[in-house]
Amino acid sequence: MICIRKIISQKFVASESQEYGMYMKDGLVYTITEQTRSEIKIKRSTFIGTISPAHTVEDAEQFVDSIRTEFSDATHNCFAYRINENLFRYYDDGEPSNTAGKPILAMLDKYRLHETVLVVTRYFGGTKLGVGGLIQAYSQCAEETIQKAKRIPLVHYQRFRIRYPYQLNKQMEYWVTQFEGRIEKSEFEADITSIIAIPEEHAASFQEQLASNGKHSIQIIQLSDD
C-alpha cells in the first residue's frame, strides 16, 4: 500500500519594478559553483567582474548590495542576474542606457547561466570610452569572469519525505541511484524515514516506481521544489 500527500510550495512573486523576459531553452542550462572574480584595465579604467550563484532574487540582490559595500568608492557597480527563463534584471548604475547591464546579461545568456548574478565594478580612469567602447568593455569583463568561474549543469530537485520498512532499505537506495537522486537524511525508528531528492525530470517516474511496489507500506510526502 502506498500513500502520497503533497505540500504545495510557495512561488516567488516579483514586484513590478523587476524586469521579465523570455529566454529560449536549447539544451542544458548551467550555474556556477562559487564566487569568482576577474579584473581588466581598458584605457586607464579598471573593470572588476564578480560572479556568484544566486538561487533566488533575494540572493542576487543581497549579493549586489555586498559588492556595492565592498566597492563603495567605485564609479559604477553595474550588474545583471538571471534566475530562470522568465526572471532576470540588469542595471546600468549611471552608465549610458544599455551599455553595461544589458551586455552583462547577454553574456550570462551566451553561457546559458541561470541562478547566477554578475556585477562589473568600474573605476573611471579619465578617458571616456563612448557607447560602443562601454559595451565592449563590460562584455569583455563579464565574459572573462564567466570563463574563469567553474560552471556546472543546473539540476532542480524535487524532495520527498518517505517512510518505509527496513526490509526496503537496500531497494530504496537502488531506486534513488537509478533515478539519479540522493538520500539527504534518514531517521531510523520503527521504520526508516528519509528525505530524498530526485531530479525533477525523474520525479514522476520515481513515484511510479514506488507505487508499483505492492508488498510493503510506503508513505510519501512531496516537499518543496529546489
Asked if residue 221 and residue 109 are part of one domain, the reply reads: no
Claim to verify: residue 76 and residue 109 sit in the same structural domain: yes
Kindly report the CATH number assigned to the domain that includes residue 60.
3.30.230.30
In total, how many domains does the chain have?
A: 2
Q: Which residue has the higher pLDDT, 58 or 156?
A: 58
Q: What is the pLDDT of residue 25?
A: 44
Of 153, 174, 195, the one marking the end of a domain is: 153
Q: Is the pLDDT of residue 192 over 80?
A: yes
Taking the C-alpha atoms of residue 57 and residue 59, their distance in angstroms, rounded to an integer, is: 5
Q: Are residues 128 and 185 in the same domain?
A: no
Asked whether residue 224 carries a pLDDT value surpassing 70, the answer given is no
Question: Do 132 and 221 belong together in one domain?
Answer: no
Percent of residues, the chain, with pLDDT higher than 90: 77
Same domain, 51 and 132: yes
| Mean pLDDT for the stretch of residues 2-16 | 34
61 and 108 in one domain?
yes
- Higher-pLDDT residue of 32, 224: 32
CA distance 48 to 140: 11
Q: How confident is the model at residue 5 (pLDDT cuts 50, 70, 90)?
A: very low
Q: Is the pLDDT of residue 164 over 70?
A: yes
Is the pLDDT assigned to residue 148 strictly greater than 60? yes
What pLDDT is attached to residue 6? 37
Structural domain containing residue 27: 19-153
List % helix, strand, coil for the chain (3-state, nearest 5).
Answer: 30, 35, 35
Q: Are residues 136 and 172 in the same domain?
A: no
